[in-house]
Amino acid sequence: MNTQYWINHYEANTRLNDTMKLPAAPCVLPEAIRAPIARSLAVFQLGESGGGTRLKRYAKVIAPLAQFTGYQRAIDLFVAEEQSHAALLGRLIGHLKQPLLHKQWTNSIFRWARNLVNLEFNIQILLTAELVAEVYFGLLYLRCADPAVKQVSHKLLRDEMKHLEFQRQFLAERLQEFSPALRRLWCLQFRLIHRFVAGVVSLDHRDCLQAIEVSPAAFRSRCTQSLERFMDRLESKISASDAQTATKAVLTTT
């Protein structure tokens, strides 16, 4: 895994969130549109505001492996970028005249579920949440008329797309060590977790989705498409790595 690329990326990118200027004009969305979008964004803001303690602990375990040199630093910067998302969303929620949340039921469920099995499972739940966030911010960017919501959603969409690439590179390295049967099992359970997360988000945020004229079913369908794109790219990356390993093995035996 090219961890140096990610260290450079996060070091350059995160500060853009901290220094981003939001449009000065007040929000003029009708109340029936503003309130559900603002409440929904407050839930995402809470989800982004974790300290990443378990993720950092996991990185500490993985970092000594040869292919993950520098991973711990990359994870520290990744967590800092998620915290910059929380701060940016906090400013956007202020613009929408909505109070921040300190506790919320889906956020509590995700935090509980992330600790159910082990640290690697924790990363999977985080990754499914990022896949869903990519769809959510993409839709807000396209369908919400408020310029500040558009601007922040666009930036978060781009950041989450990079996060997905970061996670994909990591997972490709991990899954390469699995047997084909174990990989299939992993993909199956990952799809199930994703379906659960997308289902919960589509119900919990249905008022916001309604405000931007997206049905919960259409949202889940977009989430499934996004998941399949992710899985296709993951599988191609693993196949390419398998082919490289096989070539290396042939070259060393000849």
Sign of CA dihedral 228, 232, 238, 239: positive
Check residue 163 for interaction with Fe ion (CB under 5 A): yes
What separation, in Å, do the N-terminal and C-terminal C-alpha atoms of the chain show? 27
Q: Return the axis-axis angle of helices 53-62 and 119-143, rounded to nearest 10°.
A: 120
User: Using CB under 5 A, which of the segments 21-29, 50-58, 97-105, 160-168 binds Fe ion?
Assistant: 160-168
Given a contact cutoff of 8 angstroms between Cβ atoms, the answer to whether 41 and 99 are in contact is no
Count CB-CB contacts under 10 A for residue 150.
16
Q: How far apart are CA 38 and CA 96, in angstroms?
A: 6
- Residue 134 in contact with Fe ion, rule: CB under 5 A: no
Q: Under rule CB under 5 A, which residues in 90-109 are in contact with Fe ion?
A: none
Q: Binding marks (x or -) toward Fe ion, 21..60, rule CB under 5 A?
A: ---------------------------x------------
Q: What angle do CA 203, 205, 211 make, to 5 degrees?
A: 120
In terms of CB distance, is 33 or 80 closer to Fe ion? 80
Q: How far is the CB of 163 from Fe ion (least distance, A)?
A: 4
> Per CB under 5 A, which of residues 190..249 are in contact with Fe ion?
none
Output the smallest distance, CB 129 to Fe ion, in A. 8
Strand ranges inside 84-129, DSSP E: none
82 binds Fe ion (CB under 5 A): yes
Residues of the chain by 3-state class (helix, strand, coil), percent to 5: 80, 0, 20
Q: Is 85 in the site for Fe ion (CB under 5 A)?
A: yes
Contact (CB, 8 A) for 209 and 219: yes
Nearer to Fe ion, 113 or 215 (CB): 113
The minimum distance between CB 248 and Fe ion, in angstroms, equals: 33
For Fe ion, the closer CB: 82 or 204: 82
User: Binding residues for Fe ion, how many (CB under 5 A)?
Assistant: 6
Least separation in angstroms between residue 6's CB and Fe ion is 13
Torsion from C-alpha of 157, 160, 234, 219, nearest 10 degrees: -50
Q: In terms of CB distance, is 13 or 176 closer to Fe ion?
A: 13
Nearest approach in angstroms of CB 7 to Fe ion is 16
Binding residues (CB under 5 A) for Fe ion: these are 48, 82, 85, 130, 160, 163
